[in-house]
Amino acid sequence: MTLPIIFEPAPRRGLSVSALPQPGYARPADLVYGASAEAAVAAGDGLPLAGGPIAFRSLDLIRRDVDAVRLQTVPVADLDPDILPSGLLDRLTVPRDPVWSTDGPAIMGIVNVTPDSFSDGGRFASRDAAIAQGRRLAEEGARILDIGGESTRPGAAEVSIDQEIDRVVPVIEVLAGEGHCVSVDTRKAPVMRAALDAGASIVNDVSALTHDPDAPALLAARNCPVILMHMRGEPGTMQADPRYECAPLEVYDELHARLAAAEAAGIARERLVVDPGFGFAKTAIHNIQVTAWLALLHGMGRPVLFGGSRKSSIAVLSRGEPADDRLPGSLALALAGADLGAQTVRVHDAAETAQAFALRRAILQEC
């Protein structure tokens, strides 16, 4: 962050609202899990994060000024609703749709039907290989299968609409026909339409509906969840020189604006999911900052999807490992997302992630 963070004393209960600068953001803090979360909520010392099973016992009230980010930490027991943005506590605590989470994050398995994916080098570019990979991911614990026919790695070239449809539709038809929950990873309205007609039930748009002007109207007419991911620019140029003064707050602002635009286009808020876009128009440090502040996104009141699997930032912050050797870092990011309340994690390695989550659940049940 280029803006310094200044920690200020917490506001006192009963202090006149007019004497307080209103916080622009609120980040759940002092998170607790398992029996500790249940006890905190029962005692009135905590509130359920997105309906649980995590609880937060404090709230970081954040203001962004020209010269600094100013942060005040207030225990839940001392919160005065009058100093909070309208409806904030409801948005932080309302349960999310169970398709995204039950007792922990749902796993979304990645199926790249592309010859130039950064993560798997085109191993699933054929129809049969992609179908087999989708089945394998589902068996290993993926609740959602995310099918993509265009690489959006840094520097990737755009694929024609017809080619993208030819890649994803045959795979979606089979996997959806077998009863799997299928998401289509695309920025293009014609591909969205073809995928939904083929049985996909979720649209995952890395451009947050900015790439294709026909996408918002199409999705307003379809009753499916829509994932809005944060990205600046286009995949071909997004990593040229990404700059932020405070990456977590700017990502929040830009995602909040895309939520509002989607609602204005007629897409019901209840169908929208937010994704901070790990690896998209961000340096490794930006990605880590956004991850560390992931709980901030719960203030939008929508499910949070988090995807750091095999991303190059793992190598940058480690020893330069190729994509196939980034499983440990991918698991570390998935677990961090889970601990910060993400409802869904998007991964290449479903079995390993499911195993890590199983151990996490067992440990937290004893807390």
DSSP sequence for 193-223: HHHHHHT--EEEETTTT-S-TTHHHHHHTS-
What tens digit of pLDDT does each residue of 82-120 get?
Answer: 778 789 999 999 999 888 876 789 999 999 998 755 555
pLDDT for the residue 22: 55
pLDDT for the residue 23: 62
pLDDT for the residue 120: 55
pLDDT for the residue 17: 34
Average pLDDT over residues 37-60: 96
Beta carbons within 8 Å of 212's beta carbon, 6+ residues apart: 187, 188, 189
Q: Are 255 and 230 in contact (CB under 8 A)?
A: yes
Domain regions of the chain by residue span: 5-93, 106-365
DSSP letters spanning 94-162: SPPPTTTBSSSBEEEEEEE--SS-TTTTTTT-SHHHHHHHHHHHHHTT-SEEEEESS--STTPPPPPHH
pLDDT for the residue 19: 39
Q: Is the overall model pTM greater than 0.85, yes or no? A: yes
Average pLDDT over residues 336-364: 97
Quick check: is 188 catalytic?
no
Measured between alpha carbons, how far is 199 from 22 in angstroms, rounded to an integer? 46
Q: Are 343 and 305 in contact (CB under 8 A)?
A: yes
Which has the higher per-residue pLDDT, 264 or 241? Answer: 264
Read off the pLDDT band of 9 (50, 70, 90). Answer: confident
Q: Are 262 and 217 in contact (CB under 8 A)?
A: no
Average pLDDT over residues 10-37: 72
Of the candidates 28, 2, 111, the one whose C-alpha atom is nearest the C-alpha of residue 304 is: 28
What tens digit of pLDDT does each residue of 18-30 get?
Answer: 334 556 899 999 9
How does the average pLDDT of the chain come out, rounded?
92
pLDDT for the residue 105: 95
Element (H, E) at 250: helix 247-264
Read off the pLDDT band of 15 (50, 70, 90). Answer: very low
pLDDT score of 10 more than 80: no
What tens digit of pLDDT does each residue of 152-211 get?
Answer: 877 777 899 999 999 999 999 999 999 999 999 999 999 999 999 999 999 999 999 999
What tens digit of pLDDT does each residue of 216-244 get?
Answer: 999 999 999 999 999 998 887 788 888 99
Which CATH superfamily includes the segment(s) 106-365? Dihydropteroate synthase-like (3.20.20.20)
Average pLDDT over residues 127-140: 96
What is the separation, in whole angstroms, between the first and last Cα of the chain?
Answer: 34
pLDDT for the residue 155: 73
pLDDT for the residue 238: 82
Annotated active-site residue in 282, 311, 319, 361: 311
Measured between alpha carbons, how far is 114 from 125 in angstroms, rounded to an integer? 5
Quick check: is 282 catalytic?
no
Q: Considering only 61-70, 173-182, 197-206, 339-348, which range has the smallest mean pLDDT?
A: 61-70
Of the candidates 307, 308, 304, the one whose C-alpha atom is nearest the C-alpha of residue 343 is: 304
Question: What tokens appear for 337 in the block?
Answer: 């997302």
Q: Are 93 and 47 in contact (CB under 8 A)?
A: yes
